[in-house]
Structure 1
């Protein structure tokens, strides 16, 4: 199985403690059954212009404790629906991490201090390398286990199971 995957896009930088409530505002809970509409409001409480500026392939870059809070399982779904190819952060809430992998959204734990808002990034998921094409920096993240890469390459856990039936890695 070929697990190579290189992503390229623009960094949208956020700070520490970006909660699932900031990602998917609680006042819009009535939109849970209309995820495309909810995705139009993704991260608007952290940056009101984000949803209108993000393009397919871009990255959300956070600080520490990304995805904490109420564990809204649709939070990673609407980040992905907005076009984001991966979330990079110093640390991530466990349930957000798992929910993101389940929907096919890579979450990479790395030092994000040297990434600036607007930088162009190239991420090699299999190699564990992030190249900041704007400032020339190279960052690394822990190797993604083969099982997780396989899930990500199929677009999430459900597409993986539909295609393969179970895990035979």
Structure 2
């Protein structure tokens, strides 16, 4: 099983909390509309520029704060993966639950700049900046986490294992379902 991601990098700094990523006024909106407001105050207009397949790169303590289901909004926008120097643990688990590949990479914001092509493979822990040629390895994630991400998230994995009706598998991959389950740490 290979969990490879490659896309244009968008670089953000340290300590971005989920309130900065997902403003309170957007919390009552349906996922497609709410996703249009990700990084609303941090980088206005970003959602008009991000394209499916892009990668978010961030600094330390990415996703600190409340358990707002931002990972599901990234999926809604088509973001292919996340690279951060350090993830808040609840945010990281919400990314896994939403099936969003996330790689912890020390010095990520020094390695990538906006517009670089970021490539990483969760299966073997490799990463590469295709623009500069910088590359390396990080420790791999446990097989269970890799399996959940490869399944498209925790709910589709449960459907594939027979714990939930198989006919719901596609529905369970939706951002609306991922958002409702976020924050549970499940």
Corresponding residue of 1:149: 146
Q: Which runs of 5+ in 2 are unaligned?
A: 164-186
Give matches, 1:20-169, under 5 Å.
20-31=18-29, 34-72=30-68, 74-111=69-106, 112=108, 113-165=110-162
Q: Relative to total residues, which structure has the larger helix share, 1 or 2? A: 2
The equivalent of 2:168 in structure 1 is none
- The whole-number CA distance in structure 2 between the counterparts of 1:139 and 1:38 is 35
* Count of matched residue positions in the alignment of Structure 1 and Structure 2: 161
Whether the aligned pair in 2 keeps the contact of 1:110 and 1:139 (CA below 8 Å) is no
1:13 is matched with which residue? 11
TM-score (normalised: structure 1): 0.91
* CA offsets 1:118-142 (integer angstroms, 9 cap, x no match): 1011212211111101011003222
Moved over 6 A (4+): none
**Secondary structure at 1:135 match in 2:** coil
Could you tell me whether the CA contact under 8 Å between 1:131 and 1:139 is conserved in 2? yes
CA RMSD of aligned residues (A): 1.2
